[in-house]
Amino acid sequence: MSVVTLQKWGNSQGFRIPKTILESLEWQENEQFSIAAKKNKIIIEPVQKRKTIQELFADYEGNCESAEIDWGEPMGNEIC
């Protein structure tokens, strides 16, 4: 466990995270994180980058065939 001090940085305050902790978490400079407070604790988690359609289907080896789908008659205010 490391002890850190809350310090003023401009109009905000912050902690410096020790290098050993950053290395153990494999967090990188300029990576984005979400931060929340819950029950007197701070929760910091890396933001998961959304994959592109190419990344999602990079290993797909099947065939892709377009087909028209009949969803039935309009039931609300759909535009026809």
* pLDDT tens track for 11-39: 999 999 999 999 999 998 999 999 999 99
What per-residue confidence (pLDDT) applies to 7?
A: 95
8-12 long-range contacts, CB within 8 A, separation 24+: none
The residue type at 18: P
* pLDDT tens track for 50-77: 888 888 888 888 887 888 999 888 777 7
Give the span between the Cα atoms of 36 and 30, in whole angstroms: 19
Distances (CA, A) of 70 to 46, 47, 64, 65, 67: 41, 38, 19, 16, 10
